Chains A and B, each alone.
Chain A
Amino acid sequence: MSSLEGEQDLVLRGVSKRYGHLQVLQPTELHVRSGEFLTIVGSSGSGKTTLLRMIAGFTNNTSGEILFQGRDITNVPTHKRPFNTVFQDYALFPHMTVAENIGYGPMIRRQPREAITRKVNEALSIVGLQKMIDRMPSQLSGGQKQRVALARALVCEPKVLLLDEPLSALDAEMRYQMQTFLKDLQRRVDTTFILVTHDQEEAITMSDRIAVMSAGRIEQVGDHREVYYAPKTPFVASFFGDTNLIAGTLTPDGGLQTPLGLLADVAARGPRKGKVIASLRPEAIQLSAAGRRDAGIQREGERICISARIQRTIFAGPLTRVVATCDDHPEIEFLVKVTSGDLPVSSVPGTSVRLRFSAKDLAIVPVDGDEAASAPGHLKLVAASEGAR
């Protein structure tokens, strides 16, 4: 493995955390590449903050080791690790000015005063807050405090910058601005960033790679295309954006058998056999009027077409829920994306429609017995997205 590990890489091996009987973090592997923007994303209780705090050194790991630049730093205390943290509550020292806050790290390292002043000014100009240099933290707005916290961490020139839900306390407008700002900043300072958030949209817009966590486990690590189009678990499949989930089984020759019938001849990607869930993004579905000879599921090479009769539709902003019946099967509900005010076809109940998509757009995800969100033998297209917006 060492040939794949770069000089500056951070590696976590078999790292876990237990409080008494509570296993907060399962033994976990994570390999952070030098210079990348990695986001660890998951809902509360997923273990993401624990993981970050272990890297920083605030929490001790129950087992496993943490390696940096090939060295074992598991037992190195926080103040000696070459990492710095931007805290969720910013943690600015209330009795110090902005300049003193930012200069704290260099002051501790006993750097000469001129050097400190210079670095403080540099850091302030990077975050664009030069005018605030002599203010007290209580006089700053949320967004400004955040940038000061950033400056304070960056001025120490850390090898890895850790960010703990930095945007959660900001309003939507500021959040968007900060996302862009952070992304640019990371490029400019050319430092590894590890950011923890519960917001799937943040994760997907800012990072080079994303680690998705649930219940103390990393479910998948990959770039945004991978986690969005090629999820490896049902959790990841429903975490990012909205999707349609279809329960099914893979036949010996790779076909996808669903309660609606054989959906696809050859499953494009994923495992070879067993119970699966297929994830189909709403934007991949084309909705149109049905032809007279359309019935059930028709397959033509990679093209798949489901014919159904509309029962009702529910408008949900960028997406629309369509409840329909396919032949004699019970109602199914699916999400489609519409690009104009009206559905491309009449939505009067009783209208026959076609759903067309490509087999390539089916992301096949294996499930364990009880993991299936849908009951077997009962088609349920799970429409809701689990990632927070």
Chain B
Amino acid sequence: MRSSGGEKFVYGLCAVLFALTVLVLYAPILVNALLSVVPRKAGSLHWAEAGGGAYLELFGNVDLMQSLFASVIVAVSASVLSSVIAVVMALYLDSRFAFGRRAIETLIYLPFIMPSMITGLALLIYFTALKVPLSLATVTLGHTIFVLAIAYRLTSVRLTNLSPSLREASMDLGANGWQTFRHIIFPHLQPAILSGVLFAAAISIDETLITLFLSGDRMTLPIRLWSMLRVGFTQEINALVTLVIAGTLVVALFGLRVWKKDGKLEF
């Protein structure tokens, strides 16, 4: 459709807004990437001294690497665990036998909707009362129930989109419940499960508040960064952050591509 001059102006304005927004939104990684190679001393950038040295130092920093490693372990565990639970729950709640579906679904979504501070605090009190020692395991549990909402939602929606006649056809052809799951339902769910795992991992890596309350003495990356917040980031940290963000973005990107697989954003 042809647009008038006024409409073009508005459109142009929005385009500029878009560009600016992108700059601001991506400032974190851009700035950190910049600072990781160009040292900043006394408030100004020393372009002449630019180099990748910070990255090399980074890999030698055992402390930081350990924190990173811990975060990665938590992220992988939480995303896998939440995916398994999500599939089981989605299947159960979708069947005819389930009652209390609304209630259970509310419980699944709740930790994600509530301020994470509260989820973290509540779990802290809970674990303390049960005398469970705080560790990476408790952090993983906290993350799992947090990201479960995403994994469940994606899986559940995808399951609903499976035409009932396909399940009936499978049974009609002689497959029992398990075989139908293996050959028909599971292949159908795969994109949702995969994107769920990827999103969950990306979210878990930088989830801070819950981690803060549940990690006890264990050092994960967000805690590290948190403690550095007052002091300021060193170039090593800049390098680390750049890498982590880049990695997370790549993972999230895959997740989004997989999610869109059939051309539709199912949510």
Contact = CB atoms under 8 A, between A and B. Distances in A.
A156 B171 CA distance: 12
Contacts of B188: 95
A91 B165 CA distance: 6
A84 interface: yes
B172 A108 contact: no
A384 B161 CA distance: 42
B55 to A, nearest CB: 43
Contact of B173 (A58, A88, A95, A156): A156
Nearest to B175: A108
B95 interface: no
Contacts, number: 59
Nearest to B173: A105
Contacts of A85: 168-169, 172
Contacts of A156: 173-174
B172 A104 contact: no
Q: How large is the interface on A (under 10, 10 to 19, 20 to 34, 35 or more residues)?
A: 20 to 34
B135 interface: no
A104 B165 contact: no
A56 B172 CA distance: 7
A152 interface: yes
Contacts of A88: 165
Contact of B165 (A89, A152, A153): A89
A109 interface: yes
A78 B165 contact: no
A229 interface: no
A87 interface: yes
Interface in A55-102: 56-58, 77-80, 83-85, 87-89, 91, 93, 95
Contact of A108 (B163, B174, B187): B174
Contacts of A80: 174
A95 B162 CA distance: 12
A58 B183 CA distance: 19
Interface in B168-195: 168-176, 179, 183-184, 187-188
B169 A79 contact: no
Interface in B146-178: 163, 165-166, 168-176
B174 to A, nearest CB: 5
With a 10 A CB-CB cut-off, give which of B163, B171, B183 has the most chain A CB atoms. Answer: B171
B172 A93 contact: no
A87 B173 contact: no
B165 A87 contact: yes
A108 B177 CA distance: 12
A84 B173 contact: yes
Contact of B172 (A79, A89, A109): A79
Interface residues of B, number: 17
A79 B163 CA distance: 18
Interface string A156-183: 1000000000000000000000000000
With a 10 A CB-CB cut-off, give which of A58, A152, A156 has the most chain B CB atoms. Answer: A58
B166 A79 contact: no
Interface string B51-94: 00000000000000000000000000000000000000000000
A76 to B, nearest CB: 12
With a 10 A CB-CB cut-off, give which of B163, B183, B188 has the most chain A CB atoms. Answer: B183
A79 B171 contact: yes
A87 B170 CA distance: 11
Given A79-B175, A79-B176, A105-B174, A91 B187 contact: no
Nearest to B184: A93
Contacts of A79: 171-176
B166 A108 contact: no
A108 B179 contact: yes
A91 B169 contact: yes
A332 B163 CA distance: 51
Contacts of A78: 168, 171-172
A7 to B, nearest CB: 23
A77 B170 CA distance: 13
B92 to A, nearest CB: 19
A265 B183 CA distance: 68
A84 to B, nearest CB: 6
A85 B173 CA distance: 8
Contacts of B175: 79, 104, 108
A297 to B, nearest CB: 56
B163 A89 contact: yes
Interface of B: 163, 165-166, 168-176, 179, 183-184, 187-188
27 contacts: A58-B168, A77-B171, A77-B176, A78-B172, A79-B171, A79-B174, A80-B174, A83-B172, A84-B173, A85-B168, A85-B169, A85-B172, A87-B165, A87-B168, A88-B165, A89-B163, A91-B166, A91-B168, A93-B169, A104-B175, A104-B183, A105-B174, A108-B175, A109-B174, A153-B172, A153-B173, A156-B173
Given A80-B174, A93-B183, 15 more contacts: A57-B171, A77-B171, A79-B176, A84-B172, A85-B168, A85-B172, A87-B169, A89-B165, A91-B169, A93-B166, A104-B170, A108-B183, A153-B172, A153-B173, A156-B174
